[in-house]
Amino acid sequence: MAEPTVGVLAVQGDVREHLGALEAVGARAIRVRRPTEVEAIDALVIPGGESTVIDKLVRMFGLHEPLRARLAGGMPAYGSCAGMIMLADRVEDGRPDQQTLGGLDITVRRNAFGRQVDSFEDDLHIRELGPQPLRAVFIRAPWVEVVGPEVQVLARVETGPAAGRIVAVRQGTLLATSFHPEVTGDHRVHRYFVEMVGPARPD
C-alpha cells in the first residue's frame, strides 16, 4: 500500500514539527491552507496553537465547510491541544463566537490547566502505544470533561492536582490529545495515527 498523504492544517501552530513527525513514521506530509488542498489528503492533523485564532483563520481561508464535509465523510483526523478543541463538538470557556469543526462527541474545557506559566510535563501510560510511558508536554492545554458513549479514553493525567483528567481520546477515525507529542521526539502517537489512516483509506 502506498504511503498515506496526511495534511497538516497550516494556518497557525506547530506545523513544521507535525510535518517532521509524520514523515518520520512513513507518511507523506503536506501543508493544508487552501480549500483545493483538502481533497488531496487521506487524513488531517490539526496542530496546537490558539484555538480561537485557528477557528478564525480556517473560516477566513474558506476551509471550514470543506473540512467539516471531509470529517463528516469519515476522513481520519488527529488534533493536538488546540486541535483537540477544533475537533470537539462542545467547548467550555470558549469565545461566544467560537466555532469548531466537530466530530468528537466530547466536551473540552479550553485552557483548563491554566496559563502558559502553568505548563507541565507528565508520564502517561497509554496501552495502545506499548508498555513504555510517554512523556507528555502540556502547554495551556485543554482537558476533556465529558465523553460520549462511543468515545474511547486513551489517557488521563497520572500525577499532580489534575490527576484523573482525560487528556487523550479516540472515536472511530478521530484522535485527539491535550498534549504536544510533536515536540518530544517520541513519534508513537503519530505512528498510531498513521496506522489508523490505513484501514480508513478508500481502495
Tens of pLDDT, residues 87-115? 999 999 878 888 999 999 999 999 888 66
5-200 CATH: 3.40.50.880
pTM of the model: 0.94
pLDDT at 125 over 50: yes
For residue 60, what is its C-alpha cell?
Answer: 477566513
One-letter amino acid of 132: Q
Which pLDDT value is given to residue 94? 77
List the chain domain ranges.
5-200
According to DSSP, residue 74 is labeled: T
Query: Given pLDDT bands bounded at 50, 70 and 90, which one contains residue 162?
Result: confident
What residues are labeled active site? Answer: 81, 180, 182
